[in-house]
Structure 1
Amino acid sequence: MAKPWFARLALIAAIFAFCVSVVGAFVRLTDAGLGCPDWPGCYGRLVVPQSEMAITLANEAFPERPVEIAKGWKEMVHRYLAGILGLMIFALSIGALKDRRETGQGVGLPVFLSGLVIFQAILGAWTVTWQLKPVVVMGHLLGGAATISLLWWLAMRENGWFRDTGERIHRRLRAVAVAVTAVVVVQIALGGWTSANYAALACTDFPTCHGQWWPRADFGEAFVLWRGLGVDYEFGILDNPARVAIQLTHRIGAVVTLLAVLGLVAYLLTKVRDRVLRNIGWVLGGLILIQFALGISNVLLSLPLSIAVAHNAFGLLLLVTMVTLLFTLRHRKLDPASA
């Protein structure tokens, strides 16, 4: 059994990781991803250049990227928060290793999270030094989602939540939940690809695109993952048909995700007696409907910042709720009749 401080820190870290990811979305959506053209500092400093002399020196060192103080601070605040999160995760790993004999503390997940957060830092550096390369930006987003999910799993495990209620579940429910979670992850990746390629407003109407159900789209060009180095991807490099292809794919994925999650919700609410699972079903149903509505609003309202950030946040909440479902199902016994 983990010590109380460990369980509390795991929960705090999970919530903090969610906040860091939402701040990252805000940075990306305000075009501040290159607010500091170097890493880990900002124009070679630990803080954004403020004085006239510091700004002059920074502009001389990085003539291709003049100082924009507001964007620089957005980027640096995100880095500071990510650094604090990394320290939390390292503390969890050290604590797990220290207490593994005394309390039987599991060390695999905390240590893996330490490795993941180091890899996230590398992706963060590449995001800047490779000038917002879409595959790196998408990978950074997925790494953040994985960090949140695993920290939440750790928090649920160490706090003893969602344990067995004595109810039995059908064998296939676990497999279906895993499949729906995979659909959600793929859709999050598509959302990251859409954002990284500045394709969110490739279509400004809904449900049609440019007044057509299937406008001209270049799928071959839209999903090229690697285009070499030395390219500045800020504001995107794809032409409109390629961006339309990305937008259409994301829309199709949204419909598939909506149907998959609602199908799972319907099963949980009509076929399952376990109160915890039914409550999770209600939460899932509400989140997927809100998320779908936010996606439509982004298009019709031309990507307002508040709605765009909320779209990122609710996507993560949807994933966390799916992880909660998977964790809960793991702690339910199978119905012998379903074997």
Structure 2
Amino acid sequence: MPSVSTLSPAPRSPSPRTDSLYTLLVFLSLVLVLVVVILSAYLRLAGSGLGCAEWPACYALIKSTAGGTESLASAHLVPAWATVIHRLAASTLGAMVVGITLMALRRRRLPGHNTGLSLAVLGLTVFLSVLGYKTPSPLLPWVTLSNLLGGMAMLAMLWWLGQRSVSAVGGDARAPSLRPWARAGVFIVFFQIALGGWVSANFAALACTGLPGCGDFPWLDGPWRESLNLFRVLSITDGGVIITGDVAKLIHMIHRLGAVVAFLYIGWLGWRGLRLGDRYRGTATSMLVLLLLQILLGVAAVVSSLPLTMVAAHNALAALLLLSTVNLMHLLTPATEK
């Protein structure tokens, strides 16, 4: 009687066609996230009253409704086409993320593939969907900040998944020494984006309209604890105007201070990337160009009294700068590492 093997067959690797579909889904999702992030910034800024016809008197005006509160500016400044495209892109993105997750589970045995990161993208998608299911009150800054940072985190993770699926890099003898600094660079850019989002969520854009400082503000005696309170609730006057005060000045100037730190660090990191050679030169150059444009655009926005399109472009450049920094970390990480 012939013997019967008890060994299980080797797991089947995904076909090249499946790999190509996975990569295509990741990069299409990346484009959709970028669209959602940019439109979210535009809708958020327009809804706050930025660039409204009665500027700046119409900025940060709130009215009471049956279900809570909403921005007065959102009724006439937020275009319908932007809202429709935002919702359509977000819905399509959710379906595509589910497909990416299912395909990622089939690819879990491949070298350098990070199934946990794919599951994290799915979890983040569910969280943002629940958070945006019902439009929250503009008086809760943490909700606005969560939406912004969730979108930026999805953008960074999808870029990492896409790059790891199409290229195997690493091998430069100098790369390991710069890799921890690149990780720190990703964190610094992400943290600076969070500070900018905190300014927007707290309606602090007009708190400091001059450069470089904010007048004779008593920094040592300022309300530091309240300005950094992630769960603070904004107060409004009887006329529906959000009360900002000294807290908004602190929030605004902390963002400016963070911009200086980010400029110096990312500038140094990009310069180090240039010195590593041709493989890193394109990414490092992109980092430096985007960094310079971001600083110039931020200064120009303040000088020009914060036009809506310019501030929205400032948000878009921040997303691209994050992607370029993540890409440098990808280039510095061997293909065998997740």
Q: Distance in 1 between matches of 2:112 and 2:281?
A: 33
Q: 2:32 maps to which residue? A: 16
Q: 1:123 maps to which residue? A: 131
Per the TM alignment, residue 172 of structure 1 is displaced from its structure 2 partner at its CA by: 2.6
Aligned length: 301
The 1:93–1:219 alpha-carbon spacing in structure 2 relative to 1, beyond 3 Å, is same
Q: 2:279 maps to which residue? A: 276
Per the TM alignment, residue 77 of structure 1 is displaced from its structure 2 partner at its CA by: 3.5
Q: Which amino acid aligns with 1:107?
A: T
Residue 310 (structure 1) aligned with residue 313 (structure 2): yes
Q: 2:163 maps to which residue? A: 156
Contact kept in structure 2, 1:90 and 1:114, CA below 8 Å:
yes
Deviations 1:115-167 (A, max 9, x none): 110011122236x234451111111111100101111111111122x623x43
TM-score (norm 1): 0.78
Between stretches 277-286 and 203-212, larger displacement belongs to 203-212
Contact kept in structure 2, 1:134 and 1:225, CA below 8 Å:
yes
Q: Distance in 2 between matches of 1:79 and 1:317?
A: 22
Deviations 1:201-250 (A, max 9, x none): 2111111324779698532332222236x9789x9744321111111100
Q: Distance in 2 between matches of 1:117 and 1:232?
A: 32
Q: 1:194 maps to which residue? A: 199
The structure 2 residue matched to 1:227, chosen from 226, 232, 248, is 232
TM-score (norm 2): 0.78
Q: What is the 5 A alignment of 1:54-73? A: 68=75, 71=78, 73=80
Q: 1:329 maps to which residue? A: 332
Q: What is the 5 A alignment of 1:142-291? A: 142-160=149-167, 163-164=169-170, 166-210=171-215, 217-227=222-232, 237-270=242-275, 272-273=276-277, 275-291=278-294
Q: What is the 5 A alignment of 1:12-91? A: 12-31=28-47, 68=75, 71=78, 73=80, 74-91=82-99
Q: Distance in 2 between matches of 1:245 and 1:322?
A: 28
Per the TM alignment, residue 251 of structure 1 is displaced from its structure 2 partner at its CA by: 0.4
Q: Distance in 1 between matches of 2:322 and 2:136?
A: 29
Q: Unaligned regions of 5+ residues in structure 1, if any?
A: 34-59, 334-339
Deviations 1:273-308 (A, max 9, x none): 3x1212211111111111111111121111111111
Per the TM alignment, residue 105 of structure 1 is displaced from its structure 2 partner at its CA by: 7.1
Q: Unaligned regions of 5+ residues in structure 2, if any?
A: 1-13, 50-64
What is the RMSD computed on CA atoms of the aligned residues? 3.4
Select the structure that is richer in helix: 1
Residue 7 (structure 1) aligned with residue 28 (structure 2): no
Identity rate of aligned residues, in percent? 33
Q: Distance in 1 between matches of 2:79 and 2:270?
A: 43
Residue 134 (structure 1) aligned with residue 141 (structure 2): yes
The 1:242–1:232 alpha-carbon spacing in structure 2 relative to 1, beyond 3 Å, is closer
Contact kept in structure 1, 2:29 and 2:96, CA below 8 Å:
yes
